[in-house]
Amino acid sequence: MKRMIATVACLLSMASAATASDYAFRLHNRAEGYTINGFYTYQDGRWSDNWLDRRLKPGESVGMDWHSNEGSCIVPFRVSWDDYGADEFRLDWCKGVHNVYMKDKGFSWD
């Protein structure tokens, strides 16, 4: 019985580790008065479709996930804003990015 419990516990821990992502992050809108309406990544010579399914007002955030750890660590990304346009940025996603903070000018991450 102990052996069966240990086996089940091991399988459950392996399953939860397999579904966890090393590349999940949270996008935060820390800009004052600007609403984010798009987040795009540049890979394989083209910009992705919009990752967002809603707009992010100032002070809001949303969880995002690459769902992959393949490809380059440095992937350009573009953020678009209502009544402004878009800005392009670069970030080394392999450095353990957990949060991306979009600001009035530029961004920061941790």
Question: CB under 8 Å to 17, separation ≥6 — which residues?
Answer: none
**How would you classify the pairing of strands 85-89 and 77-81?**
antiparallel
Q: Name all domains of the chain by residue range, CATH numbers in brackets.
A: 23-109 (2.60.40)
Number of neighbours of residue 85 by Cβ within 10 angstroms: 7
Terminal CA-CA length for the chain: 45
pLDDT in tens, the chain (110 residues): 444 333 334 333 333 334 445 689 999 999 999 999 999 999 899 999 999 999 999 999 999 998 887 888 999 999 999 999 999 999 999 999 999 999 999 999 99
Question: CB under 8 Å to 45, separation ≥6 — which residues?
Answer: none
Whole-angstrom Cα distance, residue 89 to residue 110?
Answer: 15
Question: CB under 8 Å to 105, separation ≥6 — which residues?
Answer: none
What is the pTM assigned to this prediction? 0.78
